[in-house]
Amino acid sequence: MDFPLSLVFENFSQLMTVLSVIGSAVSTIVFLGYKFGKHFGNKSDKKEIEEIQKEKHGLSVKLGKEKKLSSLLAAELSDLKIANELKSTKLKKVHNVWDAPRIFDFEKHYNQIKNSKPIITVANFKGGVGKTTIAANLAAYFNSIGKRVLLIDFDYQGTLTETIRNSLKVKEPFLSSNALLSDELSSSDIFNQSEPLHGLFDSSRLFPAFYELNDYETLMLLNWFNGSHDEIRFNLHKYLSSEIFQNSFDVTIIDAPPRPGTAVVNAACASTHILIPTILDHLSVEATLNTTQVFNDFRSKLNPQLKLLGIVPSKVSKVGYSAYEEREIENLKNRIPNIWQGNDTVSIYKSTPIYDKADIAKHAGLNVPYLVSNNLLIRNIFDDLGEKIAEELKLKTSDRPDTRTVMAGE
Per-residue confidence (pLDDT) for residue 94, from 0 to 100: 41
Burial 235-268 (b: 16+ CB within 10 A, else e): bbbbbbbbeebbebbbbbbbbbbbebbbbbbbbb
Q: What percent of the chain has pLDDT over 70?
A: 72
Cβ pair 263, 180 in contact under 8 A = no
Tell me how far CA of residue 224 lies from CA of 50, 81, 213, 295, 307, in angstroms. Answer: 57, 16, 17, 21, 27
- Residues 109, 70 share a domain: no
Average pLDDT over all residues of the chain: 81
CA dist 139 and 242 (Å) reads 21
Per-residue confidence (pLDDT) for residue 190, from 0 to 100: 94
Q: Which domain holds residue 43?
A: 1-90
Report the 10 Å Cβ neighbour count for 156.
22
Residue 409 CB contacts under 8 Å (≥ 6 apart), including other chains: 318, 319, 320
Domain-located, residue 319: yes
Report the 10 Å Cβ neighbour count for 305.
17
Q: How many domains does the chain have?
A: 2
Per-residue confidence (pLDDT) for residue 82, from 0 to 100: 43
Report the 10 Å Cβ neighbour count for 226.
11
Least confident stretch, 29-43, 136-150, 224-238, 313-327: 29-43
Report the 10 Å Cβ neighbour count for 313.
25
CA dist 97 and 87 (Å) reads 10
CATH label of the domain that carries residue 301: 3.40.50.300
Give the chain's count of helices (H) and strands (E). 14, 9
H or E segment to which residue 121 belongs = strand 119-122
- Residues 86, 60 share a domain: yes
Tell me how far CA of residue 300 lies from CA of 4, 12, 340, in angstroms. Answer: 138, 126, 10
- Residues 110, 78 share a domain: no
Using 50, 70 and 90 to split pLDDT, how confident is the model at 62? low
- Residues 5-31 have pLDDT tens digits of 454 445 555 655 655 656 666 556 655
Boundary of a domain, candidates 90, 117, 142: 90
- Residues 130, 82 share a domain: no
- Residues 252, 206 share a domain: yes
Cβ pair 293, 301 in contact under 8 A = no
Mean pLDDT, residues 145-158 taken together: 94
Q: Which of 381, 393, 371, 394 is nearest to 139 (CA)?
A: 371
Report whether pLDDT(3) > 70. Answer: no
- Residues 1, 111 share a domain: no
Domain-located, residue 376: yes
Per-residue confidence (pLDDT) for residue 44, from 0 to 100: 62
Q: Which of 384, 364, 397, 375 is nearest to 159 (CA)?
A: 364
- Residues 260, 352 share a domain: yes
Mean pLDDT, residues 173-192 taken together: 87
- Residues 69-103 have pLDDT tens digits of 555 555 555 444 544 554 554 444 444 678 787 77
Boundary of a domain, candidates 63, 90, 117: 90
Give SS3 for 314.
Answer: strand
Distance of CA 387 to the CA centre of its chain: 35
Domain-located, residue 410: no
CA dist 340 and 146 (Å) reads 33
Give SS3 for 202.
Answer: coil
Domain-located, residue 150: yes
Domain-located, residue 403: no
Domain-located, residue 230: yes
Using 50, 70 and 90 to split pLDDT, how confident is the model at 203? confident
- Residues 389, 256 share a domain: yes
- Residues 67, 36 share a domain: yes
Domain-located, residue 97: no
Per-residue confidence (pLDDT) for residue 320, from 0 to 100: 81
Which residues are bridge partners to 153 per DSSP?
255
Whole-model pTM over 0.85: no
Tell me how far CA of residue 262 lies from CA of 181, 222, 278, 316, 405, in angstroms. Answer: 8, 10, 23, 31, 42
- Residues 142, 10 share a domain: no
Mean pLDDT, residues 284-290 taken together: 96
- Residues 102-147 have pLDDT tens digits of 778 889 999 999 999 999 999 999 999 999 999 999 999 999 999 9
- Residues 79, 169 share a domain: no
- Residues 329, 187 share a domain: yes
Q: Which of 254, 260, 368 is nearest to 309 (CA)?
A: 254
Boundary of a domain, candidates 28, 61, 90: 90
The DSSP letter of residue 179 is G
Using 50, 70 and 90 to split pLDDT, how confident is the model at 67? low
Domain-located, residue 166: yes
Least confident stretch, 245-259, 367-381, 393-407: 393-407
Choose between 176 and 348: higher pLDDT. Answer: 348
Per-residue confidence (pLDDT) for residue 5, from 0 to 100: 45
Distance of CA 55 to the CA centre of its chain: 55
